[in-house]
């Protein structure tokens, strides 16, 4: 779990240091990246709002938590991770290739964390298995 925070810190540092994308590609990458940052922020706000008081940074649900299947949770099972990856992909396009590499590592960490989280959710909520049949993708619709 702490690995995700370390990687986010690495991403922040890499946003400050070179190398950058080649100058000729920069304006287009920056525009697309900025749009992705805004999309990631909006998706994160929507996802955390839908999760409400059930939000935790730990993979194990809170004792008082209930299964949330509304809002973005109708599209993917882990929309907060998905929104975070869109956000960091946007930063990657705005800043440089090292940021993209660290974002790829974060994607792997969050994909693994999602699997661990789902084991807890299956054990906690009898309806989780049927939810996974309705919402087939963890992070990216039609992909994963």
Q: Which domain holds residue 55?
A: 2-16+25-134
Residues with Cβ < 8 Å from 97, sequence gap 6 or more? Answer: 19, 21
Question: pLDDT value at position 76?
Answer: 97
Count: domains in the chain: 1
Q: Which of 111, 135, 131 is nearest to 121 (CA)?
A: 131
pLDDT band at 95 (very low <50, low <70, confident <90, very high): very high
Q: Are 102 and 11 in contact (CB under 8 A)?
A: yes
- The answer to whether position 86 is within a domain reads yes
Q: Are 103 and 88 in contact (CB under 8 A)?
A: yes
- The answer to whether position 142 is within a domain reads no
Question: pLDDT value at position 104?
Answer: 96
- The answer to whether position 143 is within a domain reads no
Residue 14 and residue 28: Cα distance in Å, rounded? 20
Output the CA–CA distances (angstroms, integers) from residue 87 to 28, 35, 49, 97, 143, in the order listed.
17, 9, 17, 15, 18
Q: Are 122 and 128 in contact (CB under 8 A)?
A: yes
As a whole number, mean pLDDT of residues 91-112 equals 94
Instruction: Give the rounded percent of residues in the chain with a pLDDT score beyond 90.
Output: 79
SS3 state at 124: helix
As a whole number, mean pLDDT of residues 119-128 equals 94
Instruction: Render pLDDT for 30-80 as a digit per residue (tens, 0 to 9).
Output: 999 999 999 999 999 999 999 999 999 889 999 999 999 999 999 999 999
Question: pLDDT value at position 80?
Answer: 97
Q: Is the pLDDT of residue 102 over 70?
A: yes
Residue 140 and residue 75: Cα distance in Å, rounded? 9
pLDDT band at 17 (very low <50, low <70, confident <90, very high): confident
Residue 71 and residue 41: Cα distance in Å, rounded? 15
Question: pLDDT value at position 18?
Answer: 86
């Amino acid at each position: 779990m702490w690995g995700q925070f370390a990687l986010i810190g690495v991403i922040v540092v890499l946003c400050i240091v070179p190398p950058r994308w080649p100058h000729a590609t920069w304006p287009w990458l920056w525009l697309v990246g900025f749009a992705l940052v805004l999309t990631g922020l909006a998706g994160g706000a929507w996802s955390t709002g839908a999760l409400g008081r059930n939000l935790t940074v730990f993979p194990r649900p809170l004792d008082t938590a209930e299964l949330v299947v509304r809002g973005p949770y109708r599209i993917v099972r882990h929309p907060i991770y998905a929104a975070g990856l869109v956000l960091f992909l946007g930063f990657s396009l705005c800043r440089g290739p090292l940021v993209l590499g660290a974002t790829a590592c974060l994607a792997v960490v969050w994909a693994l964390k999602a699997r661990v989280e789902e084991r807890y959710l299956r054990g906690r909520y009898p309806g989780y298995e049927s939810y996974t049949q309705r919402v087939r993708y963890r992070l990216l619709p039609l992909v994963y």
